[in-house]
Structure 1
Amino acid sequence: MPQRRTVTGRSQEPRRRLAEELRLLRVQRGESLRQLGKALGWDSSLFGKMEKGQTIGGPEVAEALDQHYGTPGLLLALWELAAADHTQFKERYRRYMYLEREAVNLWHYGVSTLHGLLQTPGYARELLSAGGLSGDALTRQVDARTGRCEVLHADNAPQFRTILSETVLRTPLADANEWRSQLEHLVAMGERPNITVQVVRYSVGLHALSNTDTMFLRLPGGRTATWVETGYSGELVEESASVERLQHAYDAVRDLALSPADSRKFIVQMLEEVPCEPST
C-alpha cells in the first residue's frame, strides 16, 4: 500500500497529491467511479477528472468525499492546498467561499458579468484571460471556477437568484460559438427549480446597485452575509445594519427587473441574434 505523505503546505504539487489520494481511497474501498457517483449524487465523470488532476472540484465535493470515506477534514485540507496553489484563490475570498458552500439561499446582482456559478468554461477562460491570467495559472483558475458550479447541482443545492444588468447580455465573448454556448447554458440553468434568472433593462435608468456586484448568502439560522465586489477587489459585509441596507437596495432592483418568464424570453431573443460561425 502506498505510504501517505504528510498533508502540509510543503507537500509537492498539492493538486497531484489530491488526485492520488482520491484514487487510493476509492481503490481501497473497491468502488468504481460509477458506484461513487451514484453514492454521492454527482456525475461519475467529475470524480474521474479529479483523480486525473484535470479539476479539483469544489469544497463541497471534498467534504462529501471526506464523509463518504471516513476521512474527516483530510480531503478538504488537500483541496484547500490545491486551491491555494499558485494563488488559485486569494486569501480574502476564503471566508466567502466557506459561507457560499454553507448558504441555503443565494441572491446575486451582476453589473457587467455573469456570476462564476453560471459561467461556462469558455466564458470563464475569456474573462480570466482579460484579467491577465495565462498558461497553467489560467487553466487552474478555470478548473476551480468550474468546480465551484457543482454547488448548484447537489441534492441539497441552495436556492439561487441572479439579477443581471442588460449590460451582461450585451457584452459577448470574442468567440460567437462560445457566447452561444454560454447563453444556452444560462437559459438551461434558469429552468432548474432552484435557480431564478432575471434581467434589468437599460430603460430603468440608474438605481442603487448600478455599479456594484453583490451576492447575499443566507446561512442556516437565518443570518445573512453579503459579498460586494468590483473588478479588482471584494469585501465581505457581515454587520447586520449594513447587510440590511444592501438588502433594501437589492429588493428595489428586483422590483425593477423583468419577471423570470420575460427574462427568459429576453435571453432567448439575445441568443437568436448571435451570428452563426463555423466550428474550427
Structure 2
Amino acid sequence: MATKSAVSARRLRLAVELRKMRERAGMTSTEAARTLGMGGGALSNIESARFGVSPERLRAMARAYSCSDQAFVEALVDIAVDKTRGWWETNQETLPSGLLHLAELEHHAVALRTAYTTHISGLLQTHDHAREIFRQVIPRPTPPEVEHRVSHRIRRQDIIHRTDPVPYRTVIHEAALRMRVGGRNVARAQLKHLLDMSEREHITVRILPFDVGAFPGSGQSINYMYGPVPQLDTAQLDQFHGPVLLDAEALLEKYRNLLDVVEATALSPEKSRDFIHTIVREL
C-alpha cells in the first residue's frame, strides 16, 4: 500500500547527489550544517530525501561545497522544483518500487540505450509477449497482477511514441529473437513489431548474432538512461530479485563503455533488419 514515505527516484537521486557534493568538499555533515546556518537534523533529512530543498538552499549548498558546475547545479534545481505527479505513481499500491522508479527515470531521460541477451527490451514488446514474460515471474503473480504489470510496461512505451520521443538505441542478442515466447504466433507478431519499430527515425535496433561468439557483458541486461547532465545518468540492471539502479560515476562510465563495445560488435541497423526478417521467415 502506498504511504507517505514513498519517495520518487529523482528525489532520492537529488538527496544522493547533495550528499556526494558535500563529501567531495571534504566536509562532515556537522561542518556543513554549521556553514549553512541550519541544524544537523535538517541537513540529514535533506540528504536522506525525507525533506525537500528549495532552489535557494540548494544553490547555497553548492556554493558552500565549492561546486562550480552550474549546469549540474541547475539540473539539480530542476529536480527540486518539479512537483508534477507522474502516471506511474498511480501504481504504487500494485507494483514494486523498482518498476515505478524505472518508468520515472525513463520519462525524464534525454536519451536511452539498452542491451539484452535473453529478452527483447520492454519498450519494444507487444502486449502478448509482455504478458507471457510476466506469467513466468517467480513467485507466480496472480492474473490481475500480471495485467497490472503488462499495463505498466505498455504505458512506459509512451516515451517512444509521443510527439517528442526519446532517442532510443538497443542491442538485442539472437537468443532473444529465437525464443518462442508465447508460441509461434506470438513470437512472429513480436518480431514483426520489432521490425516496424526499428524503422522509426529515433529508434536504432542492432542484433548480436550467435556467430559473434563471446562478447563483453554477455548475460547481463543493461538499461542506460541519460540525464540532462552526465552526472545524472542512471544505469539499471535486471536482477532476479528486481531492478538495480546505479549512479556511481565509475560504474556509469563502465557501462557507457560496455554499451559502446557491444554496439560496435553488433550488426548494422540495416543488416539487423535483414536478420530479423530471416528469423520471421523461419517461424
What are the superposed Cα offsets for residues 168-215 of structure 1, whole Å, 9 maximum, x if unpaired?
Answer: 111112332211111110000000111000011112122221011001
CA distance in structure 1 between the partners assigned to 2:88 and 2:102 by the alignment: 14
Which residue of 161, 175, 178 maps to 1:153? 161
Q: Which has the larger radius of gyration?
A: 2
TM-score, structure 2 as length reference: 0.67
1:269, distance to aligned residue in structure 2 (A) = 0.7
Which residue of 187, 191, 194 maps to 1:183? 191
Which residue of 253, 268, 282 maps to 1:273? 282
Whether the aligned pair in 2 keeps the contact of 1:9 and 1:81 (CA below 8 Å) is: no
Which residue of 155, 159, 166 maps to 2:174? 166
Summarize the Cα distance change of 1:172–1:201 in structure 2 as closer, same or farther, 3 Å threshold: same
CA distance in structure 2 between the partners assigned to 1:263 and 1:170 by the alignment: 14
What are the superposed Cα offsets for residues 63-105 of structure 1, whole Å, 9 maximum, x if unpaired?
Answer: xxxxxxxxx74xx36x44531223x2x1234333221111111
Which residue of 79, 97, 104 maps to 1:91? 97
Which residue of 121, 127, 130 maps to 2:133? 127
Whether the aligned pair in 1 keeps the contact of 2:109 and 2:227 (CA below 8 Å) is: yes
CA distance in structure 1 between the partners assigned to 2:240 and 2:124 by the alignment: 17
Pair 1:247 & 2:253 matched:
no
Unaligned runs of 5+ in 1: 1-7, 11-71, 275-280
1:9, distance to aligned residue in structure 2 (A) = 4.8
Which residue of 207, 213, 225 maps to 1:199? 207
CA distance in structure 2 between the partners assigned to 1:232 and 1:197 by the alignment: 28
Tell me the residue number matched to 2:50: none
CA distance in structure 2 between the partners assigned to 1:95 and 1:82 by the alignment: 13
Tell me the residue number matched to 1:103: 109
Tell me the residue number matched to 2:35: none
What are the superposed Cα offsets for residues 155-179 of structure 1, whole Å, 9 maximum, x if unpaired?
Answer: 1111101100111111112332211
Summarize the Cα distance change of 1:163–1:81 in structure 2 as closer, same or farther, 3 Å threshold: closer
CA RMSD of aligned residues (A): 1.9
Which residue of 229, 232, 241 maps to 1:232? 241
What are the superposed Cα offsets for residues 199-258 of structure 1, whole Å, 9 maximum, x if unpaired?
Answer: 111121222210110011111134422111234332111111111012111111111100
- Partner amino acid, structure 1, of 2:164: N
What are the superposed Cα offsets for residues 130-160 of structure 1, whole Å, 9 maximum, x if unpaired?
Answer: 1122311111111111111111011111110
Pair 1:113 & 2:119 matched:
yes
- Partner amino acid, structure 2, of 1:270: I
CA distance in structure 1 between the partners assigned to 2:157 and 2:88 by the alignment: 17
Whether the aligned pair in 2 keeps the contact of 1:152 and 1:158 (CA below 8 Å) is: yes
Question: For 2:132, what is the secondary structure of its paired residue?
Answer: helix
Question: For 1:85, what is the secondary structure of its paired residue?
Answer: coil
Summarize the Cα distance change of 1:250–1:136 in structure 2 as closer, same or farther, 3 Å threshold: same
Question: For 2:258, what is the secondary structure of its paired residue?
Answer: helix
- Partner amino acid, structure 1, of 2:154: T
- Partner amino acid, structure 2, of 1:110: Y
Question: For 2:92, what is the secondary structure of its paired residue?
Answer: helix
Identity of aligned residues (%): 26
Whether the aligned pair in 2 keeps the contact of 1:163 and 1:199 (CA below 8 Å) is: yes
Tell me the residue number matched to 2:229: 221
CA distance in structure 2 between the partners assigned to 1:97 and 1:249 by the alignment: 23
What are the superposed Cα offsets for residues 248-271 of structure 1, whole Å, 9 maximum, x if unpaired?
Answer: 111111111000000000001111
Question: For 2:114, what is the secondary structure of its paired residue?
Answer: strand
Unaligned runs of 5+ in 2: 4-82
